[in-house]
Amino acid sequence: MMKRFSAAILIAACSTAAGGAAEPAPPLAALWLPGPSSDWEGMASVFSLRPELRLSIAVDPAALAPSARQAMESWLREGRAEAVLRPAGDPILPLLARRRPSAARQTIAVSREAHRAAFGSAPSGLAPGAGAVSPDMLPTLASLGLRWAAVGDYHSSTWTVADRLVLVATARPEAGAPGPEAAGRVIGESHRATAWRLDESSKAVDAARILEAAALAGAGRTWTTVGGLVDALLASTTAQVRSVPSSGVPGRAPWPAWESVEASFDGSADRVEAWTRLDTAFAAFDRYQNSGVAQLRSLDKAATSLRAAQASRFFGDPALHRAEFHDLLAAAYRAIGERPPLDLQPSLAPSSARTGQLPEAQDASVGVSTAPGRIVFENASSPAGLPPLGPAGGAPAFDELRRLEARWGSDFLVIEVRLAPKNPSAPDARSFDEAAVDLYIDLNGRAGLGSASLLPGRQAFVRASDAWEYALVLRRSGGALYRHGPQGPAIVEKLAVESALADGLLSVKIPRAKLPGGPEGWGYLAVLWAADASGRPRPGPYGIPVLSALASSDDQARLKRRDPGFVRLPLQRAGR
């Protein structure tokens, strides 16, 4: 007989107990989902000033910078924080489980073991991608030892209980609040037993300032972790429990989420195509696993690539991340000894499609020199005799990227890019205004953490192992720092750019706190493109042409050979 799933709703403790006596206000709890550029130093400062604060932190241990890991471990030792399980890439578990239940379970199980190894104990709570779980997943979550999962705001005062698992309906305080202080007051003045969600993974949310304001607004209130709040609600004598259908609350989605998951990650033609490609890669994996000749090392490599390919960003905006997604799937095929489908391989124009005969390029490499607090990349020479490459209307007068330098101290990072004009004796100021440079930075060299696609429209991409987390866009008129999140790149900060026409120089100064880790260990890719007078990219026949890149002579020649195909470029690193 099939076991029917049953669920119940636990109503949060009422404000008055039997007999009319007022109960104390429920404790305050917050769930923090840090992003790539979250201000851990700012959070540490708030923790130091506000000893009453407690916090649940949902992180992928592999994405933690050393300083962030140190701060978190300190809070865990002091009992002021709770580490919450967060699978890498924030996969949408119900959509994955619908197609392949074993993959969803394996993803959670592998993430759980990585969490245990990083923090010394198994997690009790889960922060699933987009806050989405489905009823058929609940027994699996409970069997893995999870006591609660943070989900969408099913109802602002309800907590769904299933077997040994509690679904915590989280609320977003910054929704409708004009700023961090207002969002903090929403938390501090709330008299509902609510877990507040501070999600910095995909948008600009200042969690540290919100918590500081919440502590001020809720002076005298008790703070706890989300796990502690679950315990308090389950022990409440005034709580009420009622059954609800397994299909969900009438009039709502069949499973709760932080956003419209079906509309945001499935249904459209390009999203269905992405899921189909993942399904096909899994089928190839199964064939190899059941072949009788499978090797454990090959299976592990393929499984790692397939888990990375489950990241929510590949299905939220497939076009933006297509190159990175295809690269991960191709890596899975190669790991099991299969040739990837042709449409997953980088597209290079065949020789018959080339215009004229290009000279053979010598693979001269990018020169690298280092010193304490300084790294310099001297670009390889562009092969002579190549046909001109440029957007509609011709390439700008500054059409070659010559040098990239990074200098840093304890407070600031300085990036300098030098461009070469066509006519060094008479550089053109107007054309210098048209020159624009992207600088992509990979913090960790880990596949699946970041994006292998460049900013929208650029006709190049990088390897999955070179996926970038941050990008700078520089022009004489100004610049911007982007970070890559689950929903794609978002601007972190606008930047002032210094320039020198005679030297073809663009320079920018960035606070070190904006970019975690050590610049000496980062990967760098600089590319040059052309902008119009308003700053918009000037397109070519197939997109935004990369006019020049910090790359070997051979890679620069391949840039000129493409027709509609995109070119894969490596990031440059010290010591490689």
**Which pair of tokens denotes residue 325?**
């997604």
Q: How far apart are CA 154 and CA 131, in angstroms?
A: 11
Strand partners, 81: 55
Contact (CB, 8 A) for 538 and 367: no
User: What is the full DSSP assignment across 108-177?
Assistant: HHHHHHHHHHHHSS--SEE--GGG---GGGHHHHHHTT--EEEE--SSTTEEEEETTEEEEEEE-TTTT-
With residue 208 as reference, give the H or E element that holds it.
helix 207-217
**Which pair of tokens denotes residue 20?**
């009319």
Q: What is the pLDDT of residue 384?
A: 52
Residue 386's nearest CA partner among 531, 243, 560, 249 is 560
Contact (CB, 8 A) for 142 and 162: yes
Q: What is the pLDDT of residue 445?
A: 78
10-residue stretch averages of pLDDT, the chain, 576 residues long: 37 39 76 89 93 95 88 95 96 92 93 93 94 84 89 58 74 77 85 84 83 91 92 67 43 60 83 93 94 90 93 89 86 87 55 34 71 88 53 59 88 89 63 84 81 80 86 91 86 89 85 86 89 68 71 78 63 78
Q: What is the pLDDT of residue 470?
A: 94
Residue 546 phi, psi dihedral angles, 5° rounding? -85, 110
Cα Rg of the chain, angstroms: 26
Q: How far apart are CA 236 and CA 221, in angstroms?
A: 18
Q: What is the pLDDT of residue 128?
A: 94
Q: What is the pLDDT of residue 67?
A: 86
pTM attached to this predicted model: 0.61
